A and B are shown apart, each in its own frame.
Chain A
Amino acid sequence: MIELNNLTYAYRRGFVAIDDVTASVSPGIHLLLGENGAGKTTLLRLMAGLLFPSSGECLIDGAPVSSREPSVMKTVFMLPDTTELPTKTIRGFAEIHSRFYPTFSQENFEENLREFNLDGNENYNQLSLGLRHKTLLAYVVALGVDLLLLDEPANGLDITSKKALRHILARCTGPEQTVIISTHTVSDLRELYDGVLVLSKGKLLLARPTWEISERISCVASPIPPFDHIFMEQGAGLFHSIIENETGEPTDLNYALLYSALMSKSRDRLLEIINSKPSRNQELE
């Protein structure tokens, strides 16, 4: 369980990058959305202990990550969008780096490489950006940490690789693990998300499990706009709208639409509806 308690990060000049963020993030794979400059990367870095909060805290299973105690640090990992490797190959790196992470699974690592069509002995520095990404992902996802933070992981991956990434994440993320993926291309891994967090101008607008949201609102695409919609957008000859879920029949969340709605004037009404109604408790097997 990841807890963010009144997490705030302000620069010396007074700019508040993360403004009083409070949320409980349960295990699962979560999508982090926000406009450019919303503070997504800052939030990820705060959660990894790379930055220290001005006030508030981030707890991983009750332990504050800003203490940088090895016991906490081995339960978290962040993959930024650019990484240098101190070794020639990822296998070489895995050998020296995985010693610090007792949850590392060699088996998962091997399987991940296979799914990405890599053998792990490639010269990292000679690989293209996309291949470097895959190499790192294959390793990082196999670390088995309680909290994995990925910044634009599907960046530069072709369609087959994105599918492989989806499968790798599904396979390697255990019931106790949390993965937070910050991305602008929501469509890549849309079927996978268990929850979504939306950040705007440093403030956390939403942090909810996907299914809780689906119980309360529906995302529909129709040739004519629905009568009473919370938000509506036109695109590709259809009207994409968010309406209250009257039927109880769950629809897939259109994250891009949800995000647009939260950035619009309909934000407050939408949040009211999402945060209302008592939820029927769904227990995962």
Chain B
Amino acid sequence: MDFTPNKPIYRQIIDYSFGQILTGAWAAGERIPSVRELSVFLSVNSHTVLKAYEYLQNEGIIVPKRGMGFYLTTDALDHVNQARRQEFFDTTLRDLFNEMKLLDISIDEVIQQFNKQKQ
């Protein structure tokens, strides 16, 4: 995998994990690659993968099973969507609001464009 320099690697690993979950490559309730396995596969240092897994764990997407590794939770997909939605609000929308402020664009103008686009 090629990592872009624009986003922290661990975030890109999270995105990668989301991709695996959304496509079903990682199945709900099943074991996912260990920290080392994934770090080898992606050729990154283990700590980066660990950070990503910590995030996934906090979001309720994966759960560690003692002595057995990490497993996907049964409702992982929901959590993923939830997390992606949250990320949208936290980053994409935040950046949008900043741009809007800079360019002095009101929310009504945005709604107007949105409706125009829907047609």
Contact = CB atoms under 8 A, between A and B. Distances in A.
Interface of A: 28-29, 163, 166-167, 169-171, 175, 191-194, 209-211, 249-252, 282, 284-285
B46 to A, nearest CB: 5
Nearest to B5: A252
Contacts of A251: 8
A191 B51 CA distance: 14
Interface residues of B, number: 20
Interface stretch (B24-32, B36-44, B72-80): B36-44
B34 to A, nearest CB: 7
Contacts of A167: 40, 43
Given A250-B8, A250-B10, A166 B47 contact: no
B35 interface: yes
B43 A163 contact: yes
Given A171-B40, A249-B8, A250-B51, 18 more contacts: A28-B45, A28-B46, A167-B40, A167-B43, A170-B39, A170-B42, A191-B3, A191-B43, A192-B44, A194-B45, A194-B47, A210-B45, A211-B51, A252-B8, A284-B47, A284-B50, A285-B34, A285-B46
Contacts of B5: 252
A191 B44 contact: yes
Contacts of A210: 45, 47
A273 B39 CA distance: 29
Contacts of A193: 45
